[in-house]
Amino acid sequence: MMINVLIVDDHFVVREGLKMILETSDCFYVVGEAINGEEAIRQIEKLQPDVVLMDLNMPVMSGLETMKVIKNRNWSVPVIILTTYNEDDLVISGLALGAKGYLLKDTSRDNLFRNIEAAVRGETLLSADMMQRVISVKELPDEEQPPKAYAGLLSDKEQRILQYVAQGFKSKEIAFDLGIAERTVKAHLTSIYNKLGVDSRPQAVALALEKGLIKM
């Protein structure tokens, strides 16, 4: 299956570099390019790409602002964030908005391909290193409380399970530690996703940390 990719970045060199890498495979086709969020919205609507590679820092309309528009319009196109290591707060916000992945602009060819393919399947890829960065950036002081809109949203068991997830535990490990069945853990995760309006572990952790639902 050919995957149509839209590249959104205000730097010509970055766009050309990504395009050259993608063109080394018969599985990907760069269906379009955009230099800012406003142009990206028009391109998404016109071209209907299978996936979007999205820069965060752009003139006119940033990557986050673009992702908010995509979310508000209920478009299902998956977005992969393109950024650098000094933008952790922005990455967290992007994951909370539904980003399906996070990539450095100098990522390897294989990693780029893996992330795109996973995003098209509806999966989110986030390295253990990035998960730790998400957690460390969003550490909250003990006195900070979740916003009222989110207070009590998750049950005590759901919050506990989500904290396990944030620490990198797998469902089987969580089940063993809590003395419950693995299918029960998965059922709780489904409930968590529904309540938070997300569809993956990284998104759930990012949003829960951002809203103060869990503390690391």
Picking from 57, 55, 202, the residue whose alpha carbon sits closest to that of residue 132 is: 202
Arithmetic mean of pLDDT, 73-88: 83
Does the structure show a pLDDT above 90 at 168? no
Q: Where in the chain are the domains?
A: 3-125, 142-210
Using DSSP's 3-state secondary structure scheme, residue 110 falls into: helix
How is domain 3-125 classified at the architecture level of CATH? 3-Layer(aba) Sandwich (3.40)
- How many residues does the structure list for the chain? 216
The answer to whether the CB of 119 falls within 8 A of the CB of 78 is yes
pLDDT score recorded for residue 24: 93
Answer whether 148's CB lies under 8 Å from 188's CB.
no
CA-only gyration radius of the chain, Å: 18
Percent of the chain with pLDDT over 90: 40
CA nearest 187: which of 155, 158, 151?
Answer: 158
Architecture of the domain defined by 142-210: Orthogonal Bundle (1.10)
Kindly indicate the confidence band of residue 141, based on its pLDDT and cuts at 50, 70 and 90.
Answer: very low
